[in-house]
Structure 1
Amino acid sequence: MERSYFGTDGIRGRANAGVLTAATAMKVGQAAGRHFLRGDHRHRVVIGKDTRLSGYMMETALVAGFTSVGMDVVMTGPLPTPAIALLTREMRADIGVMISASHNLFADNGIKLFGPDGFKLSDEDEEAIERALGEEQQLAQGDQIGRARRIDDARGRYIHSIKQTLNDAVRLDGLRIVVDCAHGAAYTVAPSAFWELGAEVIAMGVSPNGLNINDGVGSTDLDAIKARVVAERADIGIALDGDADRLIVIDEKGETIDGDQIMALIGSRLADSGHLRGGGIVATVMSNLGLERFLASKGLDLVRAKVGDRHVLEAMRKGGYNVGGEQSGHMILLDHATTGDGCIAALQVVAAMVQSGKRASELLHLFDPVPQLLKNVVYASGNPLADPKVQAVIADAEARLKGKGRLVIRKSGTEPKIRVMAEGDDRDEIEQVVDTICCGLQEAAN
């Protein structure tokens, strides 16, 4: 079915405009609440958020929607997305909601939904809720209206949970760690977790004001943390995004370590200890060919899914894998969490430093990436990819790279952009291919 609300990761858009208004949020609460009113128990929803100003508005509207159809609501305040998935499962809730636009700036917001098992909703559930958004919902009788309450211990529960992913013998004493929380949802829990494990923590991006989330900080804007790691002579930098489901690492030299290298580290260490399931890991079509070659050298497979952590997770569950993720920093470790968790992944990386005695620059450079170039083309409307001239340019590029590299072209699921990525051993050829395609797309978009 054609969707008007749900995209690749829940509902996302400009807050208080378009589809993402308070009225929509209330309808989502009603539609999702009715969809999960199953059984004769008292029904419950857990609602968390990041630090965007619009989060207050969205939270209030969602509470009104859920309570109006008879669901009790538990509000946690600002917490990482994976914490809401965890609490949904632990509190035996029927549904979990995270109010966040992840790595986007404050003007955007979004609604992510989790089922009672802590996993993001299936396509079938999302489509059922999407259909219900256009229908009038049956409201609860007066004495069956839901109740709402806030809980004060949610942060402590999450900190305890992620620390439990490490062996009790692992201590971080002597490590100097810069933790960048992007003025987002992890601004208290991430620094606290590393500090409790013994590290000296230099926290940044921990002063949210509703407007500064992901602004000049976090996993999508790394200049500040790279400079801070070098200036503080830190052992490692941990960069999270606004809802802390992504991780990018900065080594002690100030160099960026992306999701591919992190997956290579975690996957290979689990393989060496006999704990990697599925015989490999799951990544996306955007992951570097160098990762695939590295895994092959260890007798491991790289399964490629469509872009988006939902698609990665689907492939992991289908194939029995316990490690997956994206080059952009989503890390899904199914032994510990039901969704991407930047804090858990960061703890695994730092624990590996402690156990190996290696510096971050040595530990996290397991393969040389193949030259890869990604460019975005913004378009206002229509479908530039359907233009015959663009299709001809793409066909020529694919023929040129055949046997020597890869070409991936896709529309963004959250923004009006077309992403053009090519990789291969010849950097000049890759640049020429990407530039030619982008020029063709820009002409078609004008």
Structure 2
Amino acid sequence: MDSVNFELANDGIWTVTQLNRQVGQLLEANFSRIWVRGEISNFTQAASGHWYFSIKDEGAAVKAVMFRGRAQATGFIPKPGERFEFRVNVTLYEPRGDYQLQVESMRRAGRGDLHEAFLILKEKLAAEGLFDQGRKREIKPMPLAVGVVTSMAAAALRDVLTALARRAPHVPVIIYPAPVQGMDSAGKLVQALQDAIARNEVDTLLLVRGGGSLEDLWSFNDETLARTIASSPIPIISGVGHETDFTIADFVADLRAPTPTAAAELSCRTRQTCLNQVDAAFNALTVSQHRLLERAGLRLDRAVACLVSPQQRLQQQNERLQVLKSRLARAASAPHDRHAARLALIRAKLAHAQPRLPELRNELNRQIQHLSTSTQRLIERRGQRLKAASQTLEALSPKNILERGYAIVRNEDGEIIKNALDLSVGERLAVELGQGSLQANVLQVHALL
């Protein structure tokens, strides 16, 4: 051990303060940045962000503190009962004479290499810009279809399907199965994502699985998987583990959800929201149609105002005729033929200039009828489009599918049966029909030929 200079009182007797100070110096000098393995207990996260807990094993326990800055850099919140390896400085709190451990960093016991690999990969990808918000794609609020990449046996898949069926039953869901843990699960997750991208049949992809330990979630810390997510032209929402679990896939995905159910809820708007938008569009169309009719009425009024009264037109022609008669009387001394020719010419002009009142009235009626017919056709076309949209939404309802003679079969656990080979003879089934439901027993199982 390093030597420490002790400072005693003149009478050679230690005071309590001196003793604690010297013991603290001994501890700090000889137990600096050492590794301690143990189990966490009495964990408390203070409002200041500091962590207070005890580290114990089978025979002893010691108090420990991890200050906010170092706690935030850990990337997870430990749980009581979990075993970790702690890098600590041993200190003494002089006023009470208690010694405690100041924790600089921590890693899961026996899994330190995994955690260090996680931090190294995280730092590498962050430096390349894969976590930057600017490169992430926007999630479509109204997707035509949603894809789910997860295990067919995962509880997370049931949670996602339940949430989507409740929230947006009109949105089709396509499952791209892949194991979420175990040997080569990361490679199979990459292959499932690549298949979804190549098929290009969904607008949003959900990458989900339930919670678990660091080893259970390790497939989602794969570098190839992270780069596949980053290069995907289809927006990806990650919902891996619980809210306190973080993986590399969470950081590189376009949107991170705290749970698989939350990922499903973030992938699309609710059916009621879509219906509300249809209602709003219909109301806007009605208002627009009313305004169109009002403007057409104003144009018609202005056109009528511009027409000259037939009686006024006849009066003007009559006055002109009187003028011509006067001029004809004054010219009586002219040769008869010339006056006759001029009179014939004047009569022809007068006949030509006389207003054709019936023709003008017929043309006006024709224009009014054309305007009325065009307006009615426009209203009918808009109504047919709205009716077609409503019928499309209704046709997509799962209830209508059941009404056409289909059925939903569930086992005793409430799981939907898609493969006859998943059943056993004698197993009890629940069958949901378009009208009511029934219970049935499996008598015989046939494979699909």
TM-score when normalising by structure 2: 0.22
- Rg larger in 1 or in 2? 2
TM-score when normalising by structure 1: 0.23
More helix by share: 2
